[in-house]
Chain A
Amino acid sequence: MAKKKIVLHYPEERVESPTTYHLVKDFDLVPIILRAQIDENEGTLVVDLEGSPEQIAKGIEYLREQNIRVQEAIKDIVVDTERCVSCGSCTGVCRAGALTIGAQSDWNLVFDQEKCVFCELCINTCPIRAIKVQF
């Protein structure tokens, strides 16, 4: 079993399509929805896809055929370590525990991309503007 985090951008005509249903039924995948923002005009879904690597690849191919933009999101949130002063402000809003400080005795900021659920709360919270979304 493998796990892959992706961001799905739904265009207007696809907002009501049962795509996660097909991922489960046709591709035997377990989509874990981390974040969803959907209205009648467009939608963004952050999901962890669990399944065999082949099935994940096929599932992503299917999504692309449906005209859904798939962002393989692993590198989405980036911390500019040159700018970052390790104040720790961003850790206060990161419920997912991707941004932490103090667990190491050096009190430098630690970012674990794997845990990020792309809530994007940290971006405005960083007073130094050291956190960015990388498209």
Chain B
Amino acid sequence: MTTETVKATQTATEKTVRISGSEAIIKCMLAEGVEILYGYPGGAIMPVYDELYKYRDQIHHVLTRHEQGAAHAAQGYARISGKVGVAMATSGPGATNLITGIADAQIDSTPLVCITGQVASHLLGSDAFQETDIVGISTPVTKWNVQITKAADIPEVMAKAFYIARSGRPGPVLVDITKDAQFEEFDFKYEKCKSVRSYKSVCKTNPESVKKAADLINSAKKPMIVWGQGIILGKAEAELKAVIEKAGIPSAWTILGASALPTSHPLNIGMVGMHGNYAPNMLTNECDVLIAIGMRFDDRVTGNLATYAKQAKVVHFEIDPAEIDKNVKTDVAVLGDAKASLTALLPLLNETTHTEWHNKFKELYAVEYEKVIKDDLHPTKEGLTMGEVINQINEQSKGDAAIVSDVGQHQMIACRYAKFNKTKSNITSGGLGTMGFALPAAIGAKMAAPDRDVVAIIGDGGYQMNIQELGTIFQQKVPVKIVVLNNEFLGMVRQWQQLFFDKRYASTEMTNPDFVAIAKGYYIDAKRVSKREELADAVAEMMACEGAYFLEVCVEKEDNVFPMIPTGASVSDIRLS
């Protein structure tokens, strides 16, 4: 590099421009590659919205109908794109309405930057109009949060916010900006954040721990892998596949790990957990080495920890040191990024097949098929099942659609039966179990991946928790497919009431409105089906529709989701009926 070039570069990076805090926020977003943000304006964020008007050809703002919808839409965007989702709201109720989405993003490790307006700094703590301590409120549910009271702090804080949100184990960050800081002018200069002194985003994979893990895996007679979303977040799908195939290890997934490996892969043995598949749950308590990759041993996965995989040596590949030994004691912990760790592991593994062990999974799958799956997917009784609807979507989408599911029975059915060919195809609220997630999340998902079919599978309960986002779909012309599986119940709670509360159906039956009329009221094509012979054509019509489409399927009222591990029971106590 010549002296002149060095000087020119230095001049370029030091160049400043005098702008307002509001404009700085937008310039920061542009520098971070933000193309879409979801939000709702209000008094304390108006200066930013005013600047946004100027930049509307560079950043597309999506006006959701509720701030919760904005947060979930940003989550859907982030989950399918792998980028940071951005949501914006005003102070007070605007900010608190984001909280559910932020909490959801925190537990599901979704990279999110939420920007909230705040009352002017001289009013802080005075109970001013629409003032809440959003930094205090959001502290337990954010990876990091901060309040800005001086415009000059905006570039550094915003750079840090995006860096923290997307790096290491991703998560939500909240940036609260007082109104005076939005108006204040300062000399703007932006530099992307590359590190934060107190924050170590990823541990470098330790070769010794990888060697120990490989030795244990190579010595195993009955190894089993359970992978989680860490594979998808770490872009380690190919590495996972290579490891599984070389070592011939039957491999199961947590709900958020779904789609990292194609459903059709012969070593894919299904989902673990409360409504997971029979074989991987049963055999968790028989395997001799349990290899957990990018998963956190959630209680919905482990059931009773006192009996969970007690016979097995446990190897845990994990990016977050705080997850090691948190729930399950490990024999070997490999800290680091999943891609790097699995790349290091692969050459150390012996090529094996474990055919006999794998056959045990097949045998148990056959039992599950006979007792559960067959009737779910190919029912002979009169009422429509949720499973056959998912099966129909599988057939028509050929497994290429992204499925966004809400929370409840339909979610478990969707995750159990949806076929996935591509990664990042299963978007659901895993850890928080947020009803109302799917409709707005599907908006974000479709906007992030316009070339993909995005099908939202929602129950009649969750649909009505954010039904107002039909307005966003209509206004933004988002061609998302919405399938409501209507059983006129809060189905999962009803199932628990049936099984554990003597069928006392307290407040779970729903008298629903005319969903089709509502969708049509938002100018969305809509249809209702309640007969089996109508289903295939209706799904075909939905998938062929160029715009948004609403399909209501009236399913059996009191159908249950099996297999099921009752709360607190051992994974091997899984029930088939």
A and B are interacting partners = no
